[in-house]
Amino acid sequence: MANLTLDLFCKVVDNFGDIGICWRLARQLEREHGIAVRLWVDDLRAFQRICPQVDSGAAQQVIEHVAVRHWVGQDGEYTPSEVADIVIEFFACDIPPGYIAAMAQRPVKPVWLNLEGLSAEEWVEGCHSLPSKHPRLPLTKYFFFPGFTNKTGGLLCESGLEGERAAFAADPAAAPRFLASLGVTAAEAAGLKVSLFCYPYAPVAELFAAWRDGGQPVTCLVPEGVAADAVQAFLGQPAVPGAVRSEGALTVRVLPFVPQQDYDKLLWSCDLNFVRGEDSWVRAQWAGKSFIWHIYAQDENLHHKKLRAFLQRHSGGEALDAFSLCWNGARQGDWPDLWKGLAEAMPEISARSAQWQQKILANGDLASNLTKFCASLT
**In 205-306, which ranges are E strands?**
218-223, 244-247, 250-255, 272-276, 290-294
Cα–Cα distances (Å) from 110 to 86, 137, 156, 270, 378, in that order, read 5, 13, 23, 44, 9
According to DSSP, residue 116 is labeled P
In whole angstroms, give the CA distance from residue 324 to residue 333.
11
CB 37 within 8 A of CB 66: yes
Q: Is 121 a catalytic residue?
A: no
User: What is the number of other CB atoms lying within 10 angstroms of the CB of residue 377?
Assistant: 15
- State the DSSP string of 292-349: EEEPPP-GGGHHHHHHHHHHHHH---HHHHHHHHHHTTSS---HHHHHHHHHHHHHHH
Cα–Cα distances (Å) from 207 to 93, 133, 227, 369, in that order, read 36, 49, 12, 39
Pairing, β 36-41 against β 66-70 = parallel
In whole angstroms, give the CA distance from residue 196 to residue 291.
10
Which of 18, 85, 89, 206 is an active site residue? 18
Question: Which region, left, alpha or beta, applies to residue 277 given φ > 0 means left and ψ of -120 to 50 means alpha?
Answer: left
Q: Is 278 a catalytic residue?
A: yes
In whole angstroms, give the CA distance from residue 5 to residue 161.
25
Cα–Cα distances (Å) from 252 to 29, 85, 153, 257, 281, in that order, read 38, 49, 38, 15, 22
Which of 7, 14, 85, 278 is an active site residue? 278
In whole angstroms, give the CA distance from residue 160 to residue 362.
16
According to DSSP, residue 161 is labeled H
In whole angstroms, give the CA distance from residue 170 to residue 176.
13
The residues that are catalytic are 18, 278
